[in-house]
Amino acid sequence: MGTLTYFGLLLPWGLLVVLGQIALGGAALLRRWRFVLAVVLPMTAYLGLGDAVALQQGIWQIHSDRIVGIYVGNVPVEEITFFLLTNLMVVQGIVLFNSPQVRARLARRLLRSSLP
């Protein structure tokens, strides 16, 4: 996969979950979009900053032959994307879990699937 290795593994992994969450409770997520962004964006920046320090100090490395070569500071865009997707999965999961409409929809689906 070469320079697309990181993205080639990252995007199917993260987007499957994020898109599944949207399919499950898109309306609930839309109602809480400000909350989602207010949590996801600063946490993504925080993790990116921590990654920048670790990369700069040589605590870890990202192999240049596995990334596309676009950076935010010294952090590969794949790392920022990883943090963004991970934060989205967590925050959207919390929003969906706390949505009575989504919980009711899940309960109905589970009940239908368990009937003979």
User: Per-residue pLDDT tens for 65-100?
Assistant: 999 999 999 999 999 999 999 999 999 999 999 999
Q: For residue range 45-56, what is the model confidence (pLDDT) as tens digits?
A: 999 999 999 999
Interatomic CA distance for residues 67 and 4, integer angstroms:
6
- Residue of 45 and 113 predicted with greater confidence: 45
pTM for the model stands at 0.90
Domain borders along the chain are 2-106
Interatomic CA distance for residues 87 and 46, integer angstroms:
11
